[in-house]
């Protein structure tokens, strides 16, 4: 069996190779042939899928593209499993994967504290020239990372509100749930921790920005598509939005995780954002801790082992009647 890892950086290879070595014997017992892992530094996309040959499974990251067409091409070459080494799955056409009988699994939780601490650090950076203590914080999305963020901000003496259709008992011990239109005007800081899907795409837009408290700060460490970047730029220009901190960007695919020091960045929206003194932009680094990379590697190979053994995988994102016991529904909250 052969696993192809795409968008592989040196640190991916280090941690995945170590886990592969640790699991080599177990994997070999359930593989019809010698188990091999190959690493590609380029992303999986419609342009590169033709390079996939003699591969049984692919391992991908946030900016790899697994559209219906890409999945169809993978299926034709014999790929049977897609292993996401991230929580979000907005880059995978799950319906197409299910129809083709391709197993898909993610890593639903890898050190949620790492991303929450990163988001908290944005707040502490002093963009607004205000102390955090006593401020009101709004958290949109109260999965593992959102709740971790809430705990951190509670420790600074903040008042907490949250918006999430699926309320968390853990958050209720820390703060209060409000409808989005009631939360936005109350908060000094808004931190986004929800998955990107049709209902959450551009949840921060011209309309919701106008609802926000004048001078408030927006933090996004989740997915770039949650924000209408052009609308945010206008809000910054008008000074209605007091500060912006991004670890993700809607058009980050060809920008982040690459060295552009010798290139001209032709993304005018991003270039404009970088001119504001009250804007911080990082390159999707919130997860980047030793603990998170270790958990990503371990969980990725656990998912693969479940697939090879033909047993129920708790992290499966597709209904598994074609291989495993059928699940009644897909996960509703993943970060």
Catalytic sites, residue numbers: 223, 252
| Burial call 68-80: b when 16+ CB within 10 Å, e when fewer | eebbeebbeeebb
For 330, left (φ over 0), alpha (ψ -120 to 50), or beta? beta
CB 193 within 8 A of CB 141: yes
293-299 long-range Cβ contacts below 8 angstroms, 24+ apart? 293/11, 293/12, 293/15, 293/110, 294/15, 295/107, 295/109, 295/110, 295/111, 296/15, 296/85, 296/86, 296/107, 296/110, 297/15, 297/16, 297/18, 297/19, 297/85, 298/19, 299/107, 299/110
């Amino acid at each position: 069996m052969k696993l192809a890892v795409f968008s592989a950086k040196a640190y991916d290879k280090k941690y995945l190779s170590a886990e592969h070595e640790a699991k080599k014997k177990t994997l070999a017992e359930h593989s019809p042939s010698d188990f091999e892992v190959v690493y590609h530094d380029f992303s999986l996309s419609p342009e590169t899928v033709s390079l996939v040959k003699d591969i049984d499974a692919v391992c991908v990251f946030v900016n790899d593209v697994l559209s219906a067409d890409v999945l169809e091409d993978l299926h034709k070459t014999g790929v049977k499993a897609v292993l996401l080494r991230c929580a979000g799955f907005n880059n995978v056409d799950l319906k197409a994967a299910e129809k083709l009988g391709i197993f898909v699994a993610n890593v639903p939780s890898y050190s949620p504290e790492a991303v929450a601490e990163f988001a908290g650090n944005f707040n502490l950076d002093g963009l607004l020239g205000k102390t955090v203590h006593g401020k009101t914080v709004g958290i949109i999305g109260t999965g593992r990372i959102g709740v971790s963020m809430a705990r951190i901000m509670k420790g600074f003496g903040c008042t907490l509100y949250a918006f999430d259709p699926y309320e968390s008992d853990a958050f209720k011990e820390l703060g209060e749930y409000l409808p989005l239109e009631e939360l936005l005007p109350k908060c000094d800081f808004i931190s986004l921790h929800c998955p990107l899907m049709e209902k959450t795409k551009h949840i921060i837009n011209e309309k919701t920005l106008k609802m926000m408290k004048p001078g408030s700060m927006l933090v996004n460490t989740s997915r770039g598509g949650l924000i209408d970047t052009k609308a945010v730029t206008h809000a910054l220009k008008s000074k209605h939005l007091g500060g912006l901190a991004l670890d993700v960007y809607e058009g980050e695919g060809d920008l982040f995780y690459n060295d552009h020091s010798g290139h001209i960045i032709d993304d005018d929206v991003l270039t404009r954002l970088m001119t504001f003194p009250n804007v911080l932009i990082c390159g999707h680094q919130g997860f980047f801790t030793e603990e998170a990379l270790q958990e990503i590697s371990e969980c990725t190979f656990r998912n693969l082992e479940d697939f090879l053994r033909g047993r129920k995988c708790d992290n499966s994102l597709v209904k598994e009647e074609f291989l495993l016991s059928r699940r009644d529904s897909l996960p509703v909250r993943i970060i």
